Each structure stands twice: as structure tokens, then as C-alpha cells.
Structure 1
């Protein structure tokens, strides 16, 4: 196992562009029995149009369809991966013909696979997907490859991160007290409760909340908390 990981780590370390990353991923995937490999990542901001980078060895037409039809918004494998701290396995459902997404995926030979999410300290989120046409992933294979897929996802994330377009610089620069108020707000505490916890007046809490909302470019404290969470501030 150590030799396997060291070999692929050396291969990834030579990456000078995203195309090299997917080339290495594709070869690594093949050694595990998968025809296709894909890695997509995005920054958390701006929420309406975050920088995105996607690479894969999928057929060109499927890559085009996935983007133009916005299949990422309904791709259950991606959703499951983002909601798990471990790689997830998936297969096309029995009624795949009734789903536009799965019907098209199957037409390109995408039927069974893994998806694994990774998150960087800067808030960037990525998902690795390995897939193949035949043979669902059984329990033995899952046990054998889960840790490897997880490792590949993290190494792919680190390898791709330098090539992800930068988001606009954004540093809310909260004070220590504002950070305290923000964290208690995220825990669902009211201004009155936070005032008691921090031994300050309720009006002072509201003053800090107003500053937090402004610094985070939000319209209310709920949005501010959500934005702070996406930025890893909590």
C-alpha cells in the first residue's frame, strides 16, 4: 500500500496544469478498475457565481451535457458525497430510463462508481468521481478501496487547488468580540442570551451584530452566519 501511495503522490507532484492532474487520476483509476475519473472544485464565493474548475476523461459530449443541463444540481452522487465525510458508492437506479440524467449517463457508460468530497482550508470544495460501465461495487471492493479513494480525493484537491481561479479578495476582519457574538449567534442564541453569556448589554450585542452583517456583506444575521460558515470562520 505504501509503495502504491508513494508512486501516485510522486506522479501528482509533477502536475503543472489541470490536464496533468486528470491524466494521473485516470491512470490511477484504471489500476482500481475504473474507466473514468473526474474532479470538480469551486470556491465558496461569490455565492452567485463562484470560480469553478472541472476536469475529466469523460466523453466530450457528456462533459458538455453535464454543464449545459446543470446536472451537478441533481447529481445524487455529488450530493451524497458532499454530505458525507467518507467516500460513497453508487449505481444507476433500476428505473434509470425514467430519469433524464441517468438515461444520458448510462448512454455514455457511466453506471457504477465512487464519489468523495474534499474541503480546503480556504473553503474550496471538491468532489472526485471514479466510474465504470460494468459491475456494481460489492462489499469486498468497498472495503478494499474506500481508504484509497479518500486519499486520491484529498491529493487531487491539493493538486488542483493552485489552478482554481482566485475569488475576489474578501477579508471581513472581525474583532474578537464580533467573532464571539457571531459564534453564539450561530449556536442559535438570542441577543439577550448572548448579552448574559458575554456580560455585556443587549444593545451592545445588537451593535456587534450590525457590524458583523455589514462586514460580511450580508442583509441579515442569518445570511451572515451562513456566509461565515462557508468561509470556515466558525
Structure 2
């Protein structure tokens, strides 16, 4: 029996199941490489699915990237969200963007949790109390977060019910959706984050850029080592760092992406 057939039998559950299948098929059919367009289509399909499930808002964020986290420090685009803009601005201005009790809890826990449960925990401090109070003031009520845990990477999907008195149902279905969403959205989110104006030049370290430029100009590892007066092992280390940040599968792929992003000079 398919997993989706085990997570609900009510009429709305069946409707959400059908919408989830459409989401999976639609995101599989989206044209690759046009990353910004791909994200917009994913967001459109996700909104339709969650509206069918009785949700008002959603917020998907990658908490701990599998790629070099330093390269994405402070990048607000590693997320998809329909949260009110005023709430997101408040979080950014008050240091709650990627440093808030929900993010920390989603890293530590694997099962869904409600914000009301977390706000009543004895573990939270005054700063966290302020976060939840402001969330309530901005209309974020009844929120439930679904953690996503994969090797070397964590993310989370938070949903908010349409009705103030409503509850988030179909927990298993929505948690399954969270994983499908992550698989569909993570790559384009990384790609868009890397090509955002102001991020290109800060993406690679100076040494990673030099190693990539040497490779792009046909130099071997040994020659790059001699030109930069560093060991061949250091050359390999910086090349691996560049490949990781660029999400590339090979040296040639890393060079091609860096050139496309305007990060390299080729002689």
C-alpha cells in the first residue's frame, strides 16, 4: 500500500492526497535551469495544496544547508514563505530571521510541534516570549512546524490554519508534503541565492577564485600549486570548497558555473 494511502481517509484528507499527487507531478515536470521561474511555480502549486488543506500561511526554510553554510549566512532567499511581509520584516529587523526558537527546535526535533506548545515550554526565555507574542500580533496563530531531516541538512515547513480556532489536521500528510517540497525546492533556492545581486562576488573566497581561474585557464593542480605557492593538497582543498559552494558535480562544472555567474577571469 502506498504511503499516501495510509495517512487519512476523511473527505478533506482524500482531497489533500489528490492535491499532493498533483503537486508531485507538477514539480517533476517543471523546466530545469530557470530557477526563479521554478520557485514561483512551486510556490503556486504549494499554495493551492495548502489552501485545500485549510491553511492560511506557510513558511519553508532551510535551517542548516548541506552546502557551505558561511556562503549563505544572512541570505533571506533560502526560503519560500507566504507569511505577512510585516512579520518577516519585524523578524529580520529584530534578529529573529534564522535565529529564533522555531528554527532551533526544528533542528533538535524530528516530529511536528505546535508553536503554542513551544511558547509554553519552561525552556524558553524572555527573548523567545517576545517572538511568540509578536507572531500572535501579526496573525500567526495555531502554527505547526514540520521538521525535515536529511544527512547534513535540516529544513522545516510551518503552516498556519485559516481559522483562528482551527487546527492543523492531516499531520502525516503535511509532513510527507514537507519532504516532497524540500526535494523540489532546495536546489532552485540555492541557485537563486547564489545569483542574487550582491552575493556573486562574496560567494567564493579569494583563494577559491584563484584556484578556479587557474583551472579555467588550463593549469594542472601542480602548476596552480606553483603559481600560488601553496601545496597541491591546499589546491584540492580550495577546489572542493568552490565545488561545494557552487553545487557542482565536477571541476569543469564548477568552472562553467563560476564563469556564468561572472566570478572568473579567463585569459
Q: Match for 2:160 among 128, 131, 136? A: 131
What's the offset of the Cα at 1:36?
A: 0.2
Q: What does residue 147 of structure 1 align with? A: 172
C-alpha separation in 2, matches of 1:17 and 1:50: 20
What's the offset of the Cα at 1:39?
A: 0.9
Q: Does 1:114 align with 2:152?
A: no
Aligned pairs for 1:152-167 (under 5 A) are: 152-163=177-188, 164-165=190-191
Contact 2:88 2:97 in 1 (8 A): no
Q: What does residue 84 of structure 1 align with? A: 109
Deviations 1:180-220 (A, max 9, x none): xxxxxxxxxxxxxxxxxxxxxxxxxxxxxxxxxxx989xxx
Q: Give the alignment's Cα RMSD to 1 decimal.
A: 3.6
C-alpha separation in 1, matches of 2:97 and 2:29: 29
Please list every run of 5 or more consecutive structure 2 residues that lacks an aligned counterpart in the other structure.
Answer: 6-16, 31-36, 195-202, 209-235, 239-267
Q: Does 1:69 align with 2:91?
A: no
TM-score (ref. length: structure 1): 0.58
Number of paired residues?
169
Q: What does residue 21 of structure 2 align with? A: 6
SS of equivalent to 1:71: coil
Cα distance change, pair 40–30 in 1 and its aligned pair in 2 (3 A): same
Q: Match for 1:36 among 51, 57, 65? A: 57
Q: What does residue 219 of structure 2 align with? A: none
Contact 2:110 2:149 in 1 (8 A): no
TM-score (ref. length: structure 2): 0.51
C-alpha separation in 2, matches of 1:88 and 1:27: 23
Q: What does residue 255 of structure 2 align with? A: none
Contact 1:77 1:88 in 2 (8 A): no
Contact 1:89 1:137 in 2 (8 A): no
SS of equivalent to 1:115: strand
Q: What does residue 46 of structure 2 align with? A: 25
Cα distance change, pair 65–20 in 1 and its aligned pair in 2 (3 A): farther
Q: What does residue 72 of structure 2 align with? A: 50
